[in-house]
Amino acid sequence: MLQDDVMMSRRALLTGAALAGTGVAVAGSLWHDRAAPEPQLLRIPDLIDLRGMGQSASLKVQRGTTSFFPGRESRTLGYNGSYLGPTLRVHSGDDVEVAVTNALGDDTTVHWHGLLVPAEVDGGPHQLIRPGTTWRPVLPVRQPAATLFYHSHVHDRTAEQVYTGLAGVLLVTDDEENLFGLPSEYGVDDLPLVLQDRQFEDGRLVIPNGMMTLMAGRRGDTMLVNGTVNPIARVPRQLVRLRFVNGSNARIFDLSFRDGRTFHWIASEGGLLELPVKLQSLSLAPGERAEVLVDFSDGRSVALQTAPDRNMPTMMRMVGGPRNFLRDLVDLDHERVLAFEPTETAGHRTKTTVPDRLVTRPNPDSSRAVRRRRFALNMGMGGMMAMMAGRGGMMEGGRGSGMAMAGINGRAFDMDRIDEKVRLGDFEIWEASGEMMAHPLHIHGVHFQVLSRGGAKPSVRDQGIRDTVLVKEPVELLVQFTQPATRAAFMYHCHILEHEDNGMMGQFTTD
């Protein structure tokens, strides 16, 4: 059953509906051509709980080779390994030190995405880690339990470094979350799931390039979860907590279960919601995270799937783009993300149930905002015609050419320019809108709440404490600035990493 299912998924992925019904033999041969593996057990990153390690951990940023497909080695990057990194668990109230040694031979940085820490230890492009050196930030953890992640944020090359493997999960835990009896046995009933799409040729990871690709952001034909192709997770027959991290460069996932079962969304980027929200599908943009509870007590195998992502620049939707690009983005049916196989024996816990209520949060009070700023996330700056003609912009060698294709409020990112100055402790309303396509806006060093979207009440998915939000129609965000940025600046940027690298980023400091 599961096997057939996997084959159907591969077949749909490879050929669309055309070959449907032509039988397993065909699917099998295509599968062979692609060197696609048998379903593989989901990799669970090692867990490093910093409390058990004297409040310190070491990350070595290194090169390696990874066999995503059997017998096919890809050159990749990772933290303490060849692809991705260990899960770091920190406790609210603690001060932790992470020693990051750069063994890449290239510059890198490590940004703690979603962690509220002073700008000089945030790991943005200014906290460069030169080859052969070690960066030792001390991170004061003072925020509610949440699923965060860490990743490269090196100027101009974030997209390539993250694509090639530089990302990992960062969990904040606190006493409050333990009150709710949520599944919390790491790797058993509490699973970190880094979702990524990547492009493979003959089973080897390749980095797509070219103007159209970079405008839409790099996409891939293969889903990875924690770096595993075609993954199966064995889970106990009970309620299981899934912590989704969208670690793709550009892909928006629209997640659902193939059998249509409902699940409960319990935490946004900033931590637990007030009430669990019953959903049948959940969309997740790059940089966003979500925690959900899923009931596997019926023991039935089921696949998590994602709908096609139609988010691409308006121009490309109009002219169509290269055929294979369109096929990859638009014509595919639902694509398998991860298969779940409930087992009798894996459970160590007694029955858990979905809590009625979770945390209490103050309602967003927009009357506290002392000013409003507007941010237009721009594409096609420097002249669309110049870009189309292949001069500057996102063409190779275009970086730093002064012909940036992306920006905010008409300006491309400049390392030497502070775009905004805010007062520490203030609330402000940041109103953001996205041009040509939806852009996931991430603001460093803050939590915010969505006040409105497109002039109307925010959607169900907009609720909760956030640090990343998908923007197209104008959204109003109530932002509080609690972290100092006097010795360094905080970034705000599109989390389609190719847009970020090509100028859709700004920086702010605090007084």
Using CB under 5 A, list all residues that contact Cu ion: 439, 494, 496, 499
What is the nearest approach in angstroms of Cu ion to the Cβ of residue 448? 18
What is the nearest approach in angstroms of Cu ion to the Cβ of residue 508? 18
Alpha-carbon span 277 to 461, nearest angstrom: 9
Nearer to Cu ion, 182 or 504 (CB): 504
Nearer to Cu ion, 340 or 375 (CB): 375
Helix (H) or strand (E) holding 450: strand 446-453
Bridge partners for 420 per DSSP: 508
Edge-to-edge strand ranges of the sheet holding 167-173: 47-49, 87-91, 167-173, 146-151, 111-113
What is the nearest approach in angstroms of Cu ion to the Cβ of residue 113? 16
Cβ-based neighbour number of residue 69 at 10 Å: 21
Alpha-carbon span 333 to 260, nearest angstrom: 15
What is the nearest approach in angstroms of Cu ion to the Cβ of residue 459? 20
Nearer to Cu ion, 139 or 159 (CB): 159
Nearer to Cu ion, 405 or 496 (CB): 496
Alpha-carbon span 338 to 167, nearest angstrom: 19
What is the nearest approach in angstroms of Cu ion to the Cβ of residue 17? 31
Give just the sign of the alpha carbon dihedral 139, 481, 286, 155: negative
Scanning the structure block, which residue is given the tokens 């990493």? Answer: 497
What is the nearest approach in angstroms of Cu ion to the Cβ of residue 390? 21
Nearer to Cu ion, 491 or 494 (CB): 494
Nearer to Cu ion, 477 or 496 (CB): 496
What is the nearest approach in angstroms of Cu ion to the Cβ of residue 493? 8
Give just the sign of the alpha carbon dihedral 314, 320, 324, 328: positive
Alpha-carbon span 123 to 152, nearest angstrom: 8
Nearer to Cu ion, 287 or 347 (CB): 287
Helix (H) or strand (E) holding 375: strand 369-379
Nearer to Cu ion, 153 or 439 (CB): 439
Q: Which of 470, 212, 492 is nearest to 325 (CA)?
A: 212
Note whether 273 and 358 are within 8 A (CB).
Answer: yes
Q: Which of 210, 118, 128, 226 is nearest to 169 (CA)?
A: 226
Note whether 473 and 431 are within 8 A (CB).
Answer: no
Nearer to Cu ion, 189 or 197 (CB): 197
What is the nearest approach in angstroms of Cu ion to the Cβ of residue 337? 23
Nearer to Cu ion, 126 or 439 (CB): 439
- Give burial (CB, 10 Å; 0-12/13-18/19+) of 385: exposed
What is the nearest approach in angstroms of Cu ion to the Cβ of residue 379? 7
Q: Which residues contact 452 (CB under 8 A, 6 or more apart)?
A: 458, 475, 476
What is the nearest approach in angstroms of Cu ion to the Cβ of residue 321? 17
The conformational region for residue 425 under phi > 0 = left, psi -120 to 50 = alpha, else beta, is: left
Quick one: three-class SS letters along 498-511? HHHHCCCEEEEEEC
Nearer to Cu ion, 88 or 437 (CB): 437
Q: Which of 477, 485, 466 is nearest to 144 (CA)?
A: 466
What is the nearest approach in angstroms of Cu ion to the Cβ of residue 408? 10
What is the nearest approach in angstroms of Cu ion to the Cβ of residue 365? 30
Nearer to Cu ion, 336 or 439 (CB): 439
Q: Strand, coil or helix: what is 447?
A: strand
Q: Strand, coil or helix: what is 163?
A: helix
Q: Strand, coil or helix: what is 328?
A: helix
